[in-house]
Structure 1
Amino acid sequence: MNSLLNFVLLKTFVAVAETGNFTVASQHLNSTQSTLSQQIQRLEALVGQPLFIRGHRILALTETGEVLLSYAKKILALNDTFFMKMTGNAIIQTIRLGFPEDLASGQVTPTLAIFMQDNPNIRLEVTSGLSRQLHQRYQHGELDLIIVKQRKGEFKSHYHWPEPLCWLTTNRREHLNTDSVPLIVFPENGLYRNDMFKLLDIEQRPWHITYTCSSLAGIQSAITDGLGVSLLPVRAKLPQHRILTEEDGFPTAQEMEIAMHFHTGSDTLNALAQQLARQLGRL
């Protein structure tokens, strides 16, 4: 039974169990899927029972697997703590974060800097991108903590804040072309894009796309220079912009929300992510 304390097998098991996917787990461990599969088979042979229910797209744990996962996390955490105490060297942990471009600065970065100062053996790996893409990567186990924009209640989240929207145009011109509304939009699958189309269609106002950009700064600049109008968060309004209201023929858009998601496991990495989440939640 002492063979069960093979830390390599336990680490592989935890990675596969938490991601539910051999491909993602192999990327986390810098190994191959075949190697991980063989290690899981060895562990199952030692336990004498299957640890995963096969045949599903996402691997699910058996009852034995769930029990082992709880113990495996504790064993690995104790192992890390022991060697930290004996050697005086803390093990480097990397927390993978995902933020939309406009949230990856401002109040967020100072909080990240303070967290790194308080936890010198933590590495933060920040990815910026569209909210839907970041949420997909989070669901696949590729990110540990994300702050994304979503429709109110679209996905259950640990922290969320209101995100009111408004129509914006340049303040350099008094009147808009009423024949067809020129729209400045994010690429397909970007937030607010389809909302603009639907809102104007309801009002039976003709529209056309004049500018597409994946960068918020690019969208803001295009609005400033008078290339068209766009639907953006109120906080994205610049001094060079003017808000368009129902009096201008632009219907009020439904409020969205900013949501923070993070994994809630009991291992060291998840505990650190939860600590960071609490600090970001106070912003």
Structure 2
Amino acid sequence: MDIDSLRSFLAFTETGSFTRAAKQINRTQSAFSAQMKKLEEELSVKLFEKHGRNLILTEAGTSLRVEAEKIVTLHGNTVTKIKRYQDKQPLRLGCPEDYNDNLLPLIIERIYAVEPTCSIQVFSRPSIILREWLDEGKIDAAIVTRSPNSEEGYWLCADKGVWISSPDYDIHNRPSIPLALFQKDCKYHAAAIETLSKKKVPYHLLACCDTSSAQRALVAAGLAVGAIGQISVSGDVTVVDSLPPLPNVDIVLLCGVDKHPLLEKVNLDNIFDT
């Protein structure tokens, strides 16, 4: 009992005539009659009977009509749902670890809202590596800190540089401030050292980290002071206001040469108004 036979059968229930039903489904009357005969043979029941000059449903035919409507509707809904996965391409998205907590969920929420069947692979690497991967075609898009004096990428938000320490860390009365910073390609790494040097604030570089979790762990443990974007501040550290100010940066979304179809659908304006 294939779905095509059930559709043809329902065409008869709608039109009340083999001739009209055959026209509705673009078949000859003889082909339609053969299909209905085969359906009766498969079910071993009579589905139609003569009533004067007209053909009507038997009791079995009436029962089949109810079930056929359910089956055809379920089949159509199933096909529609499954076809949503047709030509599906996972989005390979790069995101520095320090943006994972606050920025990444907002972006994925926007994508998920317009495409519930989306599949996203997230790669947490420093911005410099993500740029290289984007150029090499290893990822489709990347959330990065915008390069100075450039208009690259799709602007997401601005971020303010801040100093962080553990809540009970005493930054004063120290001969030298121990620093835990990102790698040298990070804008806050260079800005922190340059700012402290210009203000003649004694410091020493305790650790150079390539993940925000490593940096935050050292800072939260009271071993060092860090410099990060305000968007990345977590509850286990506190912002230090007594040190010289750090610069602001723009955070952007860079896309590959061939923009991923998912990103064509997503509106990333006012990302923090969610």
- Normalised to the residue count of structure 1, the TM-score between the two structures is 0.57
Amino acid at match of 2:129: Q
Deviations 1:201-260, CA, capped at 9 Å, x for gaps: 111223212233322122122112211111111233344434333xx3x21111111111
User: What is the aligned counterpart of 2:124 among 128, 131, 146?
Assistant: 128
Q: Which residue of 2 aligns with 1:231?
A: 227
Matched, 1:158 2:147: no
Structure with larger Rg = 2
Q: Partner residue of 1:272?
A: 262
Among residues 250, 253, 277, which one is paired with 2:246 in the alignment?
253
* Cα pair 1:152 1:257 within 8 Å, conserved: no
Equivalent residue number for residue 183 of structure 1: 179
State which of 182, 197, 205 in structure 2 corresponds to 1:209.
Answer: 205
User: Cα distance, 1:130 vs. partner?
Assistant: 0.3
Distance verdict in 2 for CA 1:239–1:107, change over 3 Å: closer
CA deviation profile, 1:60-106 (whole Å, cap 9, x unmatched): xxxxxxxxxxxxxxxxxxxxxxxx99x95712322221111132344
Kindly state the Cα deviation for residue 166 of structure 1 after the two structures are TM-superposed.
Answer: 0.9
Secondary structure at 2:108 match in 1 = helix
What SS does the aligned partner of 1:201 have? Answer: helix
Distance 2:221 2:149 in 1: 35
Maintained 8 Å contact 1:91/1:121: no
> Are the equivalent residues in 2 in contact too, given 1:147–1:261 (CA < 8 A)?
yes
Distance 2:169 2:256 in 1: 48
CA distance in 2, matches of 1:239, 1:109: 17
**How much does 1:274 deviate?**
2.3
The alignment-based identity, stated in percent, is 17
**Shift in CA distance, 208/270, structure 1 to aligned 2, threshold 3 Å:** same
Query: What CA RMSD, in Å, does the superposition of the two structures yield over aligned residues?
Result: 3.1
The separation in 1 between residues aligned to 2:225 and 2:146, in whole angstroms, is: 22
5+ residue gaps in structure 2? 1-78
TM-score when scaled to structure 2? Answer: 0.59
Distance across 2 between alignment mates of 1:152 and 1:161: 15
| Inter-CA distance 217–164: structure 2 relative to 1 (3 Å threshold) | same
Aligned equivalent of 1:200: 196
Distance 1:238 1:263, change over 3 A: closer
Question: Following the alignment from structure 2 to structure 1, what is the Cα–Cα distance between the partners of residues 103 and 202?
Answer: 39
2:239 aligns to what?
243
Deviations 1:133-165 (A, max 9, x none): 112221333221111123554451222311101
Matching residue within 87, 95, 102 for 1:99: 95
Check whether the contact 2:142–2:255 (CA below 8 A) recurs between aligned residues.
yes
Tell me if the contact between 1:159 and 1:261 (Cα under 8 Å) persists in the aligned partners. no
Q: CA–CA distance in 2 between the matches of 1:166 and 1:143?
A: 30
- The alignment partner of 2:119 has SS state of strand
Shift of 1:182: 0.7
Report if the CA contact (8 A) 2:95-2:104 is conserved. no
Structure 1 unaligned spans of 5+: 1-83
Q: What is the aligned residue count?
A: 192
- In structure 1, distance between residues paired with 2:158 and 2:110: 25
How much does 1:111 deviate?
5.0
